[in-house]
Structure 1
Protein backbone atom coordinates (compact mmCIF):
# COMPACT_ATOMS: atom_id res chain seq x y z
CA UNK A 1 0.00 0.00 0.00
CA UNK A 2 1.46 3.35 -0.97
CA UNK A 3 1.51 6.41 1.27
CA UNK A 4 -1.27 8.29 -0.48
CA UNK A 5 -3.63 5.36 0.10
CA UNK A 6 -2.86 5.39 3.82
CA UNK A 7 -3.67 9.11 3.96
CA UNK A 8 -6.98 8.54 2.27
CA UNK A 9 -6.17 10.80 -0.68
CA UNK A 10 -7.13 8.18 -3.27
CA UNK A 11 -10.29 6.17 -3.63
CA UNK A 12 -8.76 3.00 -5.04
CA UNK A 13 -8.81 -0.07 -2.79
CA UNK A 14 -5.55 -1.68 -1.74
CA UNK A 15 -4.03 -4.53 -3.70
CA UNK A 16 -4.90 -7.07 -0.99
CA UNK A 17 -8.56 -5.96 -1.05
CA UNK A 18 -8.68 -6.36 -4.81
CA UNK A 19 -7.19 -9.84 -4.52
CA UNK A 20 -9.82 -10.69 -1.90
CA UNK A 21 -12.64 -9.44 -4.10
CA UNK A 22 -11.50 -11.48 -7.11
CA UNK A 23 -10.96 -14.51 -4.89
CA UNK A 24 -14.70 -14.34 -4.24
CA UNK A 25 -15.34 -14.88 -7.95
CA UNK A 26 -12.84 -17.76 -7.95
CA UNK A 27 -14.78 -19.37 -5.09
CA UNK A 28 -18.12 -19.02 -6.91
CA UNK A 29 -19.34 -16.20 -4.70
CA UNK A 30 -18.02 -17.32 -1.31
CA UNK A 31 -16.09 -14.45 0.30
CA UNK A 32 -13.32 -14.70 2.88
CA UNK A 33 -11.91 -11.52 4.42
CA UNK A 34 -8.16 -11.23 3.75
CA UNK A 35 -5.99 -11.49 6.85
CA UNK A 36 -2.27 -11.54 7.58
CA UNK A 37 -1.94 -12.42 11.29
CA UNK A 38 -2.53 -16.12 11.84
CA UNK A 39 -1.28 -16.57 15.40
CA UNK A 40 -0.22 -14.45 18.36
CA UNK A 41 1.45 -15.97 21.40
CA UNK A 42 2.28 -14.65 24.88
CA UNK A 43 4.66 -16.56 27.13
CA UNK A 44 4.35 -19.49 24.79
CA UNK A 45 0.55 -19.58 24.83
CA UNK A 46 -1.64 -18.62 21.89
CA UNK A 47 -3.90 -15.65 22.53
CA UNK A 48 -7.56 -15.92 21.50
CA UNK A 49 -9.22 -13.78 18.85
CA UNK A 50 -6.91 -14.45 15.91
CA UNK A 51 -8.76 -17.18 14.11
CA UNK A 52 -9.15 -17.02 10.37
CA UNK A 53 -12.35 -15.26 9.19
CA UNK A 54 -15.18 -17.63 8.37
CA UNK A 55 -16.20 -17.81 4.69
CA UNK A 56 -19.61 -16.33 3.88
CA UNK A 57 -21.82 -16.35 0.80
CA UNK A 58 -21.47 -12.87 -0.71
CA UNK A 59 -23.07 -13.24 -4.15
CA UNK A 60 -25.01 -16.03 -5.88
CA UNK A 61 -22.84 -18.68 -7.48
CA UNK A 62 -24.48 -18.14 -10.88
CA UNK A 63 -23.54 -14.44 -10.83
CA UNK A 64 -19.94 -15.10 -9.74
CA UNK A 65 -19.42 -17.82 -12.33
CA UNK A 66 -20.77 -15.57 -15.09
CA UNK A 67 -18.36 -12.81 -14.03
CA UNK A 68 -15.53 -15.34 -14.23
CA UNK A 69 -16.67 -16.36 -17.70
CA UNK A 70 -16.46 -12.72 -18.82
CA UNK A 71 -13.07 -12.14 -17.16
CA UNK A 72 -11.65 -15.24 -18.84
CA UNK A 73 -12.14 -13.35 -22.10
CA UNK A 74 -9.74 -10.64 -20.89
CA UNK A 75 -6.94 -13.21 -20.95
CA UNK A 76 -8.11 -15.17 -23.98
CA UNK A 77 -8.65 -12.23 -26.34
CA UNK A 78 -8.48 -8.98 -24.37
CA UNK A 79 -5.92 -6.72 -22.74
CA UNK A 80 -4.48 -9.47 -20.52
CA UNK A 81 -3.32 -11.88 -23.21
CA UNK A 82 0.21 -11.96 -21.76
CA UNK A 83 -1.21 -14.02 -18.89
CA UNK A 84 -1.74 -16.88 -21.34
CA UNK A 85 1.92 -17.70 -20.71
CA UNK A 86 0.82 -19.15 -17.36
CA UNK A 87 -0.59 -22.13 -19.24
CA UNK A 88 -3.52 -22.54 -16.86
CA UNK A 89 -7.22 -21.76 -16.79
CA UNK A 90 -7.36 -18.20 -15.45
CA UNK A 91 -9.41 -15.01 -15.42
CA UNK A 92 -8.52 -11.43 -14.64
CA UNK A 93 -8.73 -7.72 -15.36
CA UNK A 94 -6.18 -5.10 -16.32
CA UNK A 95 -6.34 -1.50 -15.17
CA UNK A 96 -4.52 1.73 -16.03
CA UNK A 97 -5.16 5.06 -14.30
CA UNK A 98 -5.15 8.51 -15.86
CA UNK A 99 -1.77 9.83 -16.99
CA UNK A 100 -0.32 6.33 -16.49
CA UNK A 101 0.27 6.91 -12.77
CA UNK A 102 -0.50 3.31 -11.86
CA UNK A 103 -1.14 0.06 -13.66
CA UNK A 104 -2.88 -3.06 -12.36
CA UNK A 105 -3.52 -6.67 -13.09
CA UNK A 106 -5.77 -8.69 -10.82
CA UNK A 107 -6.17 -12.31 -11.84
CA UNK A 108 -7.07 -15.67 -10.44
CA UNK A 109 -7.26 -19.37 -11.02
CA UNK A 110 -9.61 -21.71 -9.20
CA UNK A 111 -6.93 -22.07 -6.49
CA UNK A 112 -5.35 -18.64 -6.09
CA UNK A 113 -6.07 -14.94 -6.62
CA UNK A 114 -3.26 -12.39 -6.93
CA UNK A 115 -3.23 -8.62 -7.40
CA UNK A 116 -0.27 -6.72 -8.84
CA UNK A 117 -0.13 -2.91 -8.81
CA UNK A 118 2.70 -0.84 -10.23
CA UNK A 119 3.22 2.80 -9.25
CA UNK A 120 6.01 5.30 -8.66
CA UNK A 121 6.41 8.00 -6.02
CA UNK A 122 8.76 10.85 -5.28
CA UNK A 123 9.54 11.27 -1.54
CA UNK A 124 9.40 15.04 -2.02
CA UNK A 125 5.96 14.99 -3.62
CA UNK A 126 2.93 13.10 -2.27
CA UNK A 127 1.29 12.52 -5.65
CA UNK A 128 1.94 9.47 -7.75
CA UNK A 129 4.39 10.02 -10.59
CA UNK A 130 3.93 8.99 -14.20
CA UNK A 131 5.17 5.52 -15.11
CA UNK A 132 6.39 6.71 -18.50
CA UNK A 133 9.81 5.24 -19.15
CA UNK A 134 9.56 2.40 -16.62
CA UNK A 135 10.93 -0.78 -18.16
CA UNK A 136 11.83 1.16 -21.28
CA UNK A 137 8.16 1.66 -22.13
CA UNK A 138 6.81 5.02 -23.22
CA UNK A 139 3.42 4.14 -21.72
CA UNK A 140 2.79 1.46 -19.11
CA UNK A 141 -0.54 -0.35 -19.20
CA UNK A 142 -1.97 -2.97 -16.87
CA UNK A 143 -1.49 -5.58 -19.57
CA UNK A 144 2.25 -4.96 -19.68
CA UNK A 145 4.58 -5.19 -16.66
CA UNK A 146 1.89 -5.96 -14.03
CA UNK A 147 0.56 -8.89 -16.08
CA UNK A 148 4.08 -10.22 -16.64
CA UNK A 149 4.83 -10.05 -12.90
CA UNK A 150 1.53 -11.75 -12.12
CA UNK A 151 2.24 -14.54 -14.58
CA UNK A 152 5.72 -15.26 -13.22
CA UNK A 153 4.51 -15.24 -9.62
CA UNK A 154 1.52 -17.48 -10.30
CA UNK A 155 3.72 -19.93 -12.21
CA UNK A 156 5.93 -20.40 -9.15
CA UNK A 157 3.09 -20.34 -6.61
CA UNK A 158 1.09 -23.03 -8.43
CA UNK A 159 4.03 -25.20 -9.46
CA UNK A 160 3.23 -28.88 -9.08
CA UNK A 161 -0.53 -28.34 -8.72
CA UNK A 162 -2.92 -29.56 -11.43
CA UNK A 163 -4.97 -27.10 -13.43
CA UNK A 164 -8.51 -26.69 -12.09
CA UNK A 165 -11.33 -25.60 -14.44
CA UNK A 166 -13.89 -22.99 -13.48
CA UNK A 167 -17.54 -24.03 -13.11
CA UNK A 168 -19.64 -23.60 -16.22
CA UNK A 169 -21.70 -20.38 -15.96
CA UNK A 170 -25.41 -20.91 -15.43
CA UNK A 171 -28.01 -18.86 -17.33
CA UNK A 172 -29.04 -15.70 -15.47
CA UNK A 173 -32.45 -15.27 -17.08
CA UNK A 174 -33.87 -12.45 -19.19
CA UNK A 175 -32.18 -9.07 -19.37
CA UNK A 176 -33.76 -5.65 -18.98
CA UNK A 177 -33.88 -2.57 -21.19
CA UNK A 178 -34.34 -0.05 -18.39
CA UNK A 179 -33.81 -0.42 -14.63
CA UNK A 180 -36.55 -2.72 -13.39
CA UNK A 181 -38.29 -3.03 -16.76
CA UNK A 182 -38.36 -6.55 -18.20
CA UNK A 183 -37.57 -6.87 -21.88
CA UNK A 184 -40.80 -7.49 -23.80
CA UNK A 185 -40.81 -10.18 -26.42
CA UNK A 186 -41.60 -8.20 -29.54
CA UNK A 187 -42.58 -10.09 -32.63
CA UNK A 188 -42.76 -8.44 -36.06
CA UNK A 189 -46.11 -6.99 -36.92
CA UNK A 190 -47.93 -9.10 -39.53
CA UNK A 191 -48.03 -7.66 -43.01
CA UNK A 192 -51.39 -6.15 -43.95
CA UNK A 193 -53.42 -8.61 -45.94
CA UNK A 194 -56.38 -8.08 -48.22
CA UNK A 195 -59.30 -10.36 -47.53
CA UNK A 196 -60.82 -12.07 -50.57
CA UNK A 197 -63.44 -10.12 -52.53
CA UNK A 198 -66.95 -11.39 -52.07
CA UNK A 199 -68.77 -11.80 -55.35
CA UNK A 200 -72.55 -12.15 -55.72
CA UNK A 201 -73.23 -12.88 -59.35
CA UNK A 202 -72.49 -10.73 -62.38
CA UNK A 203 -73.64 -7.18 -61.58
CA UNK A 204 -71.59 -5.44 -64.24
CA UNK A 205 -69.65 -3.49 -61.61
CA UNK A 206 -66.06 -3.95 -60.74
CA UNK A 207 -65.66 -5.31 -57.28
CA UNK A 208 -64.26 -2.92 -54.70
CA UNK A 209 -61.36 -4.45 -52.80
CA UNK A 210 -61.78 -4.43 -49.07
CA UNK A 211 -59.48 -2.09 -47.18
CA UNK A 212 -56.60 -3.78 -45.36
CA UNK A 213 -57.02 -4.17 -41.64
CA UNK A 214 -54.76 -1.64 -39.90
CA UNK A 215 -52.05 -3.08 -37.71
CA UNK A 216 -51.14 -1.60 -34.39
CA UNK A 217 -47.75 0.05 -34.05
CA UNK A 218 -45.51 -1.48 -31.35
CA UNK A 219 -45.25 0.63 -28.25
CA UNK A 220 -42.20 2.90 -28.31
CA UNK A 221 -39.54 1.77 -25.86
CA UNK A 222 -37.43 4.90 -26.09
CA UNK A 223 -37.72 8.34 -24.54
CA UNK A 224 -38.50 9.87 -27.95
CA UNK A 225 -40.71 8.32 -30.57
CA UNK A 226 -40.63 9.35 -34.20
Structure 2
Protein backbone atom coordinates (compact mmCIF):
# COMPACT_ATOMS: atom_id res chain seq x y z
CA UNK A 1 0.00 0.00 0.00
CA UNK A 2 2.83 2.40 0.75
CA UNK A 3 3.98 1.89 -2.85
CA UNK A 4 0.68 1.94 -4.69
CA UNK A 5 -0.90 4.98 -3.05
CA UNK A 6 1.86 7.37 -4.22
CA UNK A 7 1.96 5.55 -7.56
CA UNK A 8 -1.78 6.10 -7.94
CA UNK A 9 -1.33 9.76 -7.14
CA UNK A 10 1.47 10.02 -9.69
CA UNK A 11 -0.50 8.48 -12.57
CA UNK A 12 -3.71 10.17 -11.44
CA UNK A 13 -6.72 8.64 -9.64
CA UNK A 14 -8.88 9.41 -12.68
CA UNK A 15 -6.66 7.15 -14.77
CA UNK A 16 -6.83 4.42 -12.13
CA UNK A 17 -10.63 4.48 -12.32
CA UNK A 18 -10.52 4.51 -16.13
CA UNK A 19 -8.28 1.44 -16.25
CA UNK A 20 -10.59 -0.40 -13.84
CA UNK A 21 -13.58 0.45 -16.03
CA UNK A 22 -11.84 -0.75 -19.18
CA UNK A 23 -10.79 -3.96 -17.48
CA UNK A 24 -14.38 -4.79 -16.62
CA UNK A 25 -15.56 -2.98 -13.47
CA UNK A 26 -18.95 -1.50 -14.53
CA UNK A 27 -20.05 2.08 -13.93
CA UNK A 28 -22.71 0.76 -11.54
CA UNK A 29 -19.86 0.20 -9.07
CA UNK A 30 -19.03 3.50 -7.41
CA UNK A 31 -15.35 4.43 -7.72
CA UNK A 32 -14.26 7.84 -6.50
CA UNK A 33 -11.08 9.20 -8.12
CA UNK A 34 -9.26 9.68 -4.82
CA UNK A 35 -5.88 8.33 -3.65
CA UNK A 36 -7.59 5.53 -1.71
CA UNK A 37 -9.10 4.04 -4.87
CA UNK A 38 -5.96 1.93 -5.42
CA UNK A 39 -6.55 0.17 -2.08
CA UNK A 40 -9.73 -1.54 -3.26
CA UNK A 41 -12.30 0.56 -1.42
CA UNK A 42 -14.94 -0.05 -4.12
CA UNK A 43 -17.48 -2.88 -3.79
CA UNK A 44 -17.72 -4.74 -7.11
CA UNK A 45 -19.54 -8.04 -7.51
CA UNK A 46 -17.35 -11.12 -7.66
CA UNK A 47 -18.27 -11.68 -11.31
CA UNK A 48 -17.09 -8.14 -12.13
CA UNK A 49 -13.65 -8.86 -10.71
CA UNK A 50 -13.53 -12.23 -12.47
CA UNK A 51 -14.33 -10.45 -15.74
CA UNK A 52 -11.54 -7.94 -15.16
CA UNK A 53 -9.02 -10.71 -14.54
CA UNK A 54 -10.25 -12.48 -17.66
CA UNK A 55 -9.28 -9.31 -19.53
CA UNK A 56 -5.75 -9.74 -18.21
CA UNK A 57 -5.72 -13.44 -19.11
CA UNK A 58 -6.90 -12.62 -22.64
CA UNK A 59 -3.98 -10.21 -23.10
CA UNK A 60 -6.11 -7.08 -23.03
CA UNK A 61 -9.33 -8.35 -24.62
CA UNK A 62 -12.47 -7.56 -22.60
CA UNK A 63 -15.66 -9.60 -23.00
CA UNK A 64 -18.85 -8.88 -21.10
CA UNK A 65 -19.55 -11.75 -18.69
CA UNK A 66 -22.64 -13.91 -19.12
CA UNK A 67 -24.28 -16.64 -17.06
CA UNK A 68 -25.91 -18.83 -19.72
CA UNK A 69 -23.63 -20.32 -22.36
CA UNK A 70 -26.07 -22.59 -24.13
CA UNK A 71 -29.69 -23.76 -23.95
CA UNK A 72 -30.60 -27.15 -25.39
CA UNK A 73 -34.15 -28.29 -26.03
CA UNK A 74 -35.38 -31.87 -25.72
CA UNK A 75 -34.85 -33.40 -29.16
CA UNK A 76 -34.60 -29.90 -30.60
CA UNK A 77 -30.88 -29.30 -30.48
CA UNK A 78 -29.40 -25.97 -29.43
CA UNK A 79 -32.05 -23.31 -28.79
CA UNK A 80 -29.62 -20.61 -27.69
CA UNK A 81 -25.88 -20.13 -27.97
CA UNK A 82 -24.07 -17.18 -26.42
CA UNK A 83 -21.76 -15.25 -28.71
CA UNK A 84 -19.32 -13.22 -26.62
CA UNK A 85 -17.76 -10.23 -28.36
CA UNK A 86 -14.25 -9.17 -27.44
CA UNK A 87 -12.89 -5.62 -27.36
CA UNK A 88 -9.21 -4.76 -27.19
CA UNK A 89 -8.86 -2.39 -24.24
CA UNK A 90 -5.17 -2.80 -23.37
CA UNK A 91 -2.07 -3.55 -25.41
CA UNK A 92 -0.52 -7.03 -25.22
CA UNK A 93 2.79 -5.60 -24.04
CA UNK A 94 1.17 -3.90 -21.05
CA UNK A 95 -0.70 -7.09 -20.19
CA UNK A 96 2.50 -9.15 -20.43
CA UNK A 97 4.17 -6.93 -17.85
CA UNK A 98 1.09 -6.92 -15.64
CA UNK A 99 0.92 -10.70 -15.75
CA UNK A 100 4.60 -10.94 -14.85
CA UNK A 101 3.96 -8.80 -11.75
CA UNK A 102 0.90 -10.80 -10.73
CA UNK A 103 2.75 -14.07 -11.34
CA UNK A 104 5.21 -13.04 -8.64
CA UNK A 105 2.32 -12.87 -6.16
CA UNK A 106 1.75 -16.58 -6.81
CA UNK A 107 5.39 -17.57 -7.13
CA UNK A 108 6.85 -15.85 -4.09
CA UNK A 109 4.25 -13.47 -2.66
CA UNK A 110 1.11 -13.47 -0.54
CA UNK A 111 -0.57 -16.24 -2.57
CA UNK A 112 2.30 -18.74 -2.54
CA UNK A 113 0.89 -20.78 0.35
CA UNK A 114 -2.70 -20.88 -0.88
CA UNK A 115 -1.90 -21.74 -4.49
CA UNK A 116 0.66 -24.44 -3.75
CA UNK A 117 0.03 -27.56 -5.77
CA UNK A 118 -1.68 -25.91 -8.74
CA UNK A 119 1.03 -27.27 -11.01
CA UNK A 120 0.75 -24.74 -13.83
CA UNK A 121 1.61 -21.06 -14.48
CA UNK A 122 -0.79 -18.67 -12.75
CA UNK A 123 -1.07 -15.02 -11.81
CA UNK A 124 -3.29 -13.28 -9.31
CA UNK A 125 -3.74 -10.98 -6.35
CA UNK A 126 -4.81 -11.42 -2.77
CA UNK A 127 -6.98 -8.87 -1.00
CA UNK A 128 -7.94 -8.45 2.65
CA UNK A 129 -10.12 -5.67 4.03
CA UNK A 130 -9.91 -3.79 7.33
CA UNK A 131 -10.22 -6.05 10.38
CA UNK A 132 -10.30 -9.06 8.03
CA UNK A 133 -14.00 -8.48 7.29
CA UNK A 134 -13.50 -9.81 3.76
CA UNK A 135 -10.82 -11.73 1.92
CA UNK A 136 -10.35 -12.26 -1.82
CA UNK A 137 -8.21 -14.08 -4.27
CA UNK A 138 -8.60 -13.39 -7.97
CA UNK A 139 -6.35 -14.92 -10.56
CA UNK A 140 -5.92 -16.61 -13.89
CA UNK A 141 -4.02 -19.01 -16.07
CA UNK A 142 -3.69 -18.41 -19.83
CA UNK A 143 -7.00 -20.27 -20.33
CA UNK A 144 -9.23 -19.33 -17.40
CA UNK A 145 -9.88 -16.60 -14.83
CA UNK A 146 -11.75 -16.93 -11.54
CA UNK A 147 -12.40 -14.91 -8.41
CA UNK A 148 -13.16 -16.08 -4.87
CA UNK A 149 -14.41 -13.90 -2.02
CA UNK A 150 -15.10 -14.66 1.63
CA UNK A 151 -17.23 -12.42 3.84
CA UNK A 152 -20.01 -12.65 6.38
CA UNK A 153 -23.55 -11.25 6.31
CA UNK A 154 -22.43 -8.24 8.33
CA UNK A 155 -19.81 -6.07 6.67
CA UNK A 156 -18.23 -5.34 10.05
CA UNK A 157 -17.91 -8.94 11.23
CA UNK A 158 -14.42 -10.39 11.01
CA UNK A 159 -13.53 -13.65 9.29
CA UNK A 160 -10.83 -14.35 11.83
CA UNK A 161 -11.32 -17.63 13.64
CA UNK A 162 -12.78 -19.54 10.69
CA UNK A 163 -11.14 -22.94 10.43
CA UNK A 164 -9.06 -22.16 13.48
CA UNK A 165 -7.09 -19.42 11.71
CA UNK A 166 -6.34 -16.36 13.80
CA UNK A 167 -6.03 -14.27 10.62
CA UNK A 168 -8.06 -15.09 7.50
CA UNK A 169 -6.54 -13.31 4.51
CA UNK A 170 -6.85 -13.57 0.75
CA UNK A 171 -3.84 -15.85 0.71
CA UNK A 172 -5.49 -18.46 2.95
CA UNK A 173 -8.95 -19.92 2.26
CA UNK A 174 -9.79 -17.81 -0.83
CA UNK A 175 -6.55 -18.81 -2.55
CA UNK A 176 -7.03 -22.44 -1.55
CA UNK A 177 -10.60 -22.54 -2.89
CA UNK A 178 -9.44 -20.85 -6.10
CA UNK A 179 -6.67 -23.41 -6.51
CA UNK A 180 -8.99 -26.37 -5.93
CA UNK A 181 -11.45 -25.03 -8.48
CA UNK A 182 -8.80 -24.31 -11.09
CA UNK A 183 -7.25 -27.76 -10.71
CA UNK A 184 -10.60 -29.36 -11.42
CA UNK A 185 -11.66 -26.98 -14.18
CA UNK A 186 -8.36 -27.31 -16.03
CA UNK A 187 -7.86 -31.04 -15.57
CA UNK A 188 -6.61 -32.46 -18.84
CA UNK A 189 -5.94 -29.02 -20.32
CA UNK A 190 -2.42 -28.17 -21.57
CA UNK A 191 -0.14 -26.31 -19.17
CA UNK A 192 0.33 -23.13 -21.18
CA UNK A 193 2.88 -20.45 -20.40
CA UNK A 194 2.25 -16.72 -20.15
CA UNK A 195 3.90 -14.36 -22.64
CA UNK A 196 7.33 -13.15 -21.54
CA UNK A 197 7.42 -9.69 -19.92
CA UNK A 198 8.36 -6.80 -22.18
CA UNK A 199 9.51 -4.36 -19.46
CA UNK A 200 8.02 -1.42 -21.33
CA UNK A 201 8.81 1.18 -18.66
CA UNK A 202 8.75 4.86 -19.54
CA UNK A 203 5.52 6.72 -20.09
CA UNK A 204 2.09 5.71 -18.83
CA UNK A 205 0.13 3.80 -21.46
CA UNK A 206 -1.99 5.99 -23.72
CA UNK A 207 -5.67 5.56 -22.93
CA UNK A 208 -7.73 4.06 -25.76
CA UNK A 209 -10.80 6.27 -26.02
CA UNK A 210 -12.67 3.97 -28.42
CA UNK A 211 -11.97 0.26 -27.90
CA UNK A 212 -11.90 -1.65 -31.16
CA UNK A 213 -14.18 -4.71 -31.49
CA UNK A 214 -12.25 -7.81 -32.48
CA UNK A 215 -13.19 -11.43 -33.08
CA UNK A 216 -10.78 -13.34 -30.87
CA UNK A 217 -11.04 -16.06 -28.22
CA UNK A 218 -11.40 -14.65 -24.72
CA UNK A 219 -10.57 -16.28 -21.42
CA UNK A 220 -13.78 -17.47 -19.76
CA UNK A 221 -14.70 -16.21 -16.33
CA UNK A 222 -15.97 -18.44 -13.59
CA UNK A 223 -16.79 -16.52 -10.42
CA UNK A 224 -16.78 -18.68 -7.33
CA UNK A 225 -19.43 -16.70 -5.48
CA UNK A 226 -19.81 -17.60 -1.80
CA UNK A 227 -23.24 -18.05 -0.24
CA UNK A 228 -24.61 -14.70 0.82
CA UNK A 229 -22.20 -12.83 -1.45
CA UNK A 230 -22.95 -9.50 -3.01
TM class, shorter-chain normalised? 0.5 to 0.7
2:74 is equivalent to residue 74 of structure 1: no
2:196 is equivalent to residue 168 of structure 1: yes
TM-score, length-normalised on structure 2? 0.64
Deviation of the 1:36 alpha carbon: 0.6
2:117 is equivalent to residue 85 of structure 1: yes
Deviation of the 1:47 alpha carbon: 7.7
TM-score, length-normalised on structure 1? 0.65
Q: CA 1:173 to 1:85, structure 2 compared with 1: closer, same or farther past 3 Å?
A: same
Alpha-carbon distance between aligned partners in 1 of 2:192 and 2:84, rounded to the nearest angstrom: 24
> Residue 27 of structure 1: which of 58, 63, 77 is its match?
58
Structure 2 stretches of 5 or more lacking a match?
1-28, 31-40, 205-230
Corresponding residue for residue 58 of structure 1: 89
Alpha-carbon distance between aligned partners in 2 of 1:41 and 1:150, rounded to the nearest angstrom: 29
Alpha-carbon distance between aligned partners in 2 of 1:90 and 1:68, rounded to the nearest angstrom: 9
Runs of 4+ in 1 over 4 A off after TM superposition: 39-42, 44-48
Q: Give the aligned CA root-mean-square deviation in angstroms.
A: 2.5
Alpha-carbon deviations, 1:146-188, whole Å to 9, x = none?
1111111111111111100001122414258xxxxxxxxxxxx
Aligned to 2:116, what secondary structure does the other structure show? helix
Asked if 1 retains the 8 angstrom alpha-carbon contact of 2:133 and 2:155, the reply is no
Query: Rg: which structure is higher?
Result: 1
Alpha-carbon deviations, 1:118-148, whole Å to 9, x = none?
1111xxxx53421121111111010001111
Alpha-carbon distance between aligned partners in 2 of 1:62 and 1:77, rounded to the nearest angstrom: 23
Q: CA 1:118 to 1:45, structure 2 compared with 1: closer, same or farther past 3 Å?
A: same
Alpha-carbon deviations, 1:12-53, whole Å to 9, x = none?
1111111110111111101111101235689x79888x7433
2:46 is equivalent to residue 18 of structure 1: no
2:170 is equivalent to residue 139 of structure 1: no
2:132 is equivalent to residue 104 of structure 1: no
Structure 1 stretches of 5 or more lacking a match?
1-7, 177-226
Q: CA 1:164 to 1:40, structure 2 compared with 1: closer, same or farther past 3 Å?
A: closer
Alpha-carbon deviations, 1:80-126, whole Å to 9, x = none?
002131011000000000111100000100011010001111xxxx5
Alpha-carbon distance between aligned partners in 2 of 1:41 and 1:84, rounded to the nearest angstrom: 38
Alpha-carbon distance between aligned partners in 2 of 1:155 and 1:78, rounded to the nearest angstrom: 20
Alpha-carbon distance between aligned partners in 2 of 1:57 and 1:98, rounded to the nearest angstrom: 35
Aligned to 2:152, what secondary structure does the other structure show? strand
Alpha-carbon distance between aligned partners in 1 of 2:160 and 2:201, rounded to the nearest angstrom: 45
Aligned to 1:56, what secondary structure does the other structure show? strand
Asked if 2 retains the 8 angstrom alpha-carbon contact of 1:103 and 1:142, the reply is yes
Alpha-carbon distance between aligned partners in 1 of 2:186 and 2:82, rounded to the nearest angstrom: 25
